[in-house]
Amino acid sequence: MRAARKAVAFSVVHFFVGLAVAYALTGQAALAASVALVEPAVNALIHFAYESWHDGHNGAMRAA
């Protein structure tokens, strides 16, 4: 349960940091909110793809 709370807290903090940075750069609240919502989703997909790739290559390296 602690890990789930930490993950949710990290996600909330990540969203607001992204929102603040995007707003500081653009000055547009709607654009900043869009960036803050899209970036973590893209990051999660890239992380999943990387982990899948890494797991496949890591096993191949151990076998060699």
- What pLDDT, in 10s, does the model give residues 4-44? 888 888 888 989 999 999 999 999 999 999 999 998 888 88
SS3 23: helix
How many angstroms separate the Cα of 17 from the Cα of each of 4, 9, 22, 60?
20, 12, 8, 38
**Residue 61: pLDDT above 70?**
no
Model confidence, pTM: 0.66
| Number of structural domains found in the chain | 1
- Please tell me the chain's helix, strand, coil percentages from 3-state DSSP, rounded to the nearest 5: 95, 0, 5
Residue-number span of the structural domain to which 37 is assigned: 2-63
Averaged over 56-63, what is the pLDDT?
A: 64
CA atoms of 20 and 39, how far apart (whole Å): 13
**Residue 63: pLDDT above 60?**
no
> Tell me, what's the pLDDT at 44?
82
